[in-house]
Structure 1
Amino acid sequence: MGHDDLPMLELAFPGPERDRGVAAILNGEKTALTGLMEIYEHAGEAVPRTGQRFSVLDSEGRPAVTIEVVDVQVVPMKEIDDDFAHAEGRGYRDAKEWRAAHEEFFRSAGVSEFLGHTPVIDDDTLVVAERFRVVEADAPRDR
C-alpha cells in the first residue's frame, strides 16, 4: 500500500507547531503522540490500532513521513509518565511539563472551535497515547 492509500495524520494545526513535530519525527526525536479522545469522538474517527500506518502531512498538506503505530492506549491524563512525555520529542523535562503543554493545546481556540466548546481537562480526561515507528520518509518535492 503506497502512502497515497494511507489515512492522513495531521499534527496540531498547520504552522510552526506542526513543522516542529514533523521535523522531530524525521530526526528520530518524536516516537509518540497524544490526541484528545473527545476529538476522536466528535470527528467520528476510530482510535488508531497497533499496526496501522499513517501518512503524516506537513503544513503544506504534503506527505512528509509514513509511520506505523506500535502501541496505542486510551488512558486518563494522570497516567502519562515521564518516559512517554520524553518520547513525544518536544523536549519535555517530565510528565508535568507535557501535561501543561497539552492542557494549553487542548483548550486552544482551534480545538474549542472544532468541538464547539472548550473541553474540560483534568486528571481523568481521556487521551489517546500512541507510540510509533517511522516506516519511511517521503521524498522531498520541489517547492
Structure 2
Amino acid sequence: MGHDDLPTLELAFPGPERDRGVEAILSGRKTALTGLLEIHEHEGEAVPVAGQRFSVLDSAGRPAVTIELVDVRVVPMKEIDDDFARAEGRGYANVAEWRAAHEEFFRGDGVSEYLGRTPVIDDDTLVVAERFRVVEAVDSGGR
C-alpha cells in the first residue's frame, strides 16, 4: 500500500508547529502522539487502533512519512506519564511540561474554532494516546 492509499494524519495546524512535529518524527525523536478524544468524536471518526498506518502530511499537504500505530489508549489526561510525555519528541522534560503545552493547544483558537466551543481540559479529559513506529520516510526529492 503506497502513501497515497493510506489515511492521512495532520499534526496540529499547518505551519511551524506541524513542521517541527514532522521533523521530530523523521529524526526519531517523536514516537508518540496525543489527540483530544472530543476531536475524534466531532469528526465522526473512530479512534485508531494498533496496526493502522497513516501518511503524515507536511504543512503543504504532501506526504512526509508513513507511520504505524503500535499502541493506542484512550485515557484521562491524569494518566499520561513522564515517559509518554518525552516520547512526544517536543522536548518536554516531564509530564507537567507536556500537560501545560497540551492544555494551551487544546484550549487554543484553532481547536475552539473547529469544535465551535472551547473544550473543558482537566484531569479527567479523555485523550487518545498513541505510540507509533516509522515505516517509511517519503523521498523528499531534495526538499
| Residue of structure 2 equivalent to 1:44 | 44
Give the alignment's Cα RMSD to 1 decimal. Answer: 0.8
* SS at 2:75 equivalent: strand
1:141 shift after superposition: 3.5
Amino acid at match of 1:47: V
Deviations 1:68-119 (A, max 9, x none): 0000000000000000000000000100100000000000100000000000
Amino acid at match of 1:64: A
For structure 2, the 5+ residue unaligned runs are none
Answering whether residue 112 of structure 2 is matched by residue 112 of structure 1, we say yes
Amino acid at match of 1:72: V
Distance 2:9 2:46 in 1: 13
Distance 1:79 1:118 in 2: 22
1:1-143 to structure 2, matched below 5 A, reads 1-141=1-141
State percent identity of aligned pairs: 82
Amino acid at match of 2:108: S
Q: Structure 2 length normalisation: TM-score?
A: 0.98
Distance 2:98 2:35 in 1: 13
Amino acid at match of 1:92: Y
Distance 2:141 2:46 in 1: 31
Amino acid at match of 1:140: S
Q: Structure 1 length normalisation: TM-score?
A: 0.98
Distance 1:2 1:16 in 2: 27
Q: How many residue pairs get matched?
A: 143
Amino acid at match of 2:120: V
Distance 2:68 2:52 in 1: 6
* SS at 2:134 equivalent: strand
Deviant stretches of 4+, over 6 Å: none
1:3 shift after superposition: 1.0
